[in-house]
Amino acid sequence: MQKTDILIIGAGPGGCATALKLSQLGIPSIVVDKAIFPRDKICGDAISGKAVTILRRIDPSIIERFEAATIEQSSVWGIRFGAPNGKCIDVPFRPNYDPINDPKQGFVSKRMDFDNRLVEEVKLRNNIELHEGISIEKYERTPGGYLVSNGDGSFQVQTKLLIVANGAHSAFSRHQVGLVKDEKHHAGAVRAYYKNVTGLHPDGFIELHFLKEINPGYFWVFGLPGGHANVGLGMRSDFVSKRRYNLTKGMLDIITNHPDFRERFKNAALMGKITGYGLPLGSKQRQLSGDHFMLVGDAGHLIDPLSGEGIGNAIYSGVIAAEQAQQCLLHSDFSAKTMHAYDVRVARVLGKEMEMSYRIQQLMARPWLVNFTANRVARNPNLIYMIAEMYADLEVRKKALNPLFWIKTLMKRN
């Protein structure tokens, strides 16, 4: 049986970010994952600017090595929003961006490649011990923390602090913490890879289309090099259940029959199969810590309610967890009271942002409002920069929840 101060369950982006930040702080850790990397992960594959920024803060060379790696990836400089009336608005992440000289704002990379690159970063650190191919199935609370083991007990670790970052279907989150599925704060999605998709933005803008046929869900196209794309459809789970909506059938119908997409996919070929997954959304505050444990990323239901993006929040929460772990070790205090500081900080840094996203998601469910906004922006391109600012600045997003803000903004002339 091994003993450690900190044990991290899960070597996805959240778990790796936690371990890498701890390593930067000079704190050793053990990381365990049931998979052997590289492994695939069902996802939209969009890596946000938030994820890039936080990884750079941990170690600037991480992104440098990622960019130098010979893997399939494309830079992303903005978002193309499609309104129900068919109008598209291209919103850059920053005004007057320079895709050649500016720092990377985000990218699309298959999770098999991205997650494996983070695992490779973990392997470079001599104070991180990584165990792959081990499924932790037993969690026993002890006076000094947790004793965890695999099914037959051949692998056991006693730890003072357990950091759980093993994804949306975490057994620990469900059975030990009580985080259950709430369909109003959960989404279902399907995704597939296609090749020979046409009409992709030259600067890699990811596409989110709010089609009237799938309201309040959206259809996405995230471009990869060589005409390849990650294509998918997502919808809140309560609407999926209420309508008995078949997401796979709905996605294929859009690709085959929708006038805005059938030509773009006319010569496209499906690569592999269409796969589905669930997204526990961060639109509802949940318990993230307790005596001797913290939940990171999807295991803590920290997925953005509007975009469905969870990688950036997983990495950010992992960094916060590592800094909280440092304080716990410094004071030899792993109590729920002390650990609650993690919940408070996550709520302050990520919670308000996800609350805003949830309320904007509710606004986006009104097709007339989305169409009206798209029409006004089409006639006044200067509004695009306001929307870009809203994407980057939480304070501007707060203003966007006030109807008077939109009335004043949308009535402005060029």
Sketch the domain layout of the chain as residue ranges.
2-72+109-182+283-359, 186-279, 366-410
CATH number of 186-279: 3.30.9.100
For the four alpha carbons of 325, 53, 113 and 217, in that order, the dihedral sign comes to: positive
Cβ pair 355, 54 in contact under 8 A:
no
Give pLDDT < 70 ranges for the chain.
Answer: 378-414
Give the per-residue pLDDT at 408.
64
Read off the tokens for 150.
């695999």
Superfamily of segment(s) 2-72+109-182+283-359: FAD/NAD(P)-binding domain (3.50.50.60)
